[in-house]
Structure formats: structure tokens, C-alpha cells
Amino acid sequence: MRPVVLFDVDGVLLDSRAAMLATLAGVATAALGRRVTVADLPPDAITTPRVEVLSALGVPNPDELCEVWWDPALATAAGTALFPGTVEGIAALRAAGAATGLVTLQTRDRLPWLLPPEVLDLMDTTVCREDAEPKPAPDGILLALARLGATPRAALFVGDTLTDRWAAFQAGAAFAGAGWGYAGRRALTEAGCPVVLKNPAQIGPGLLDLIPSGRAPQQVTTAFS
């Protein structure tokens, strides 16, 4: 069976930390009628669901307000950029025979202005916020695998938060933590993630060695750890 490597977007392929924090502050500012800066956000804002962060700041009806203000705030926030080597790594994975895909909380409309065409063209499937129950539910991973005709035992999910790890575990897929992402290498390691990648240059054919091939995902250990 063809192996599958699925990726989260933010914090894994896309360096969007500054933009996401600025967007949170921008939505809070618009909702509260007073300036809210990134410094006013809680320390764990980047790894906390946006609704929880905005609620803690006193924003009423954050879900509804995000529908109105999130995209304009994100579009005008500080620029985002791909982590170096990600395009080359994904291309090498595909050349090695893997199928690739995205499982992201971003909406489908946003992806073309967040990711360049060369990334989107390398994906065999993309599961967005509107397609499935968001992580930590496993639904997005399972949907991507169903579209590709693959089983969880043939798959690896690369994410950067404990929410991503839990989604992979529930789906029955192997997980590799992106240590350069939102949660950080230390948090992923201390939480017991068996594989934590050190830098984006490790995206490539070597990831195929992490697919469990019949072992439980939590038992996988490699030199990446």
C-alpha cells in the first residue's frame, strides 16, 4: 500500500506565529473597542483555540465575530512564510512514492493566499476546517486517508501541537512532532511524543521510516527523537 504523509499547515509548513497572534489581537480590538496588543494575549495564546483566547479577553460571541473579522485581520497581519526546505522535502517524499496531504484548521478559501501554488500542487488531498470536525478529533485525518484509499497504519501525521498528536493517536496513525512549531520541541518531548523532529530539513523521505507498519503508533522510536 502506498504510504501517506499528512501535514498540519500552521507551525509545520508555514511560519505564521506572528500573523496569528496579531490576528487574535486585531479581532479583540475590533470587538472590544479598545486597543489589544499581542503583549496583552495570554502566554499560551498560540496553542489555545481562538474562541477560548477571545473569551478570556472578554470578547462576546467570539465564534460569530471571527466569522466577520478573522479573515480581514489575518490578511492584513504581518506576513507569513514557508519554513525553509519544506517544498523540496515534500517533493522528495512524493518522488519516493508517498502520497501527501494537508489536514488544517484553515478554511479552503484562505489556503491560496497563505500557501504558494508549488505547495498546494504537491498535495494529493486537502482537508480544511469546513470539511471535518476539527482536531483533536481524528475526523480530518480519517477523511484524508479515506480519500486516498489508505489505512491509518500506512500513514504519518506531522503536527506541531499536542492537539495534533491526540488527533493522530485517535486516528491510529503515526505522529511526528514538528519541534520548530507552535508548541515547541520541549513541550512535545515532555508530553511524551515518541518522535520530535528538530528542524524542517527533516521533512523528506526519511519520514517514511516512521510509519509503523503494523506496530502501534506510540511504540515507534527512531533516530529523529
Lookup result for grid cell 503536527? 159
Name the strand (E) or helix (H) holding 14: strand 14-15
Alpha carbons 48 and 82: distance in angstroms, whole number: 22
Alpha carbons 91 and 118: distance in angstroms, whole number: 10
Alpha carbons 23 and 75: distance in angstroms, whole number: 9
- Picking from 203, 207, 198, 196, the residue whose alpha carbon sits closest to that of residue 82 is 203
Alpha carbons 73 and 23: distance in angstroms, whole number: 5
Chain centre distance of CA 99: 17
Annotated catalytic residue: which of 8, 10, 160, 164? 8
List residues bridging with 175 in a β-sheet: 157
Active site residue 131: no
For the four alpha carbons of 139, 95, 224 and 202, in that order, the dihedral sign comes to negative
59's torsion region: left (phi>0), alpha (psi -120 to 50) or beta?
A: beta
Cβ atoms of residues 110 and 74 within 8 Å? yes
Lookup result for grid cell 496513525? 173
Residues catalogued as catalytic:
8
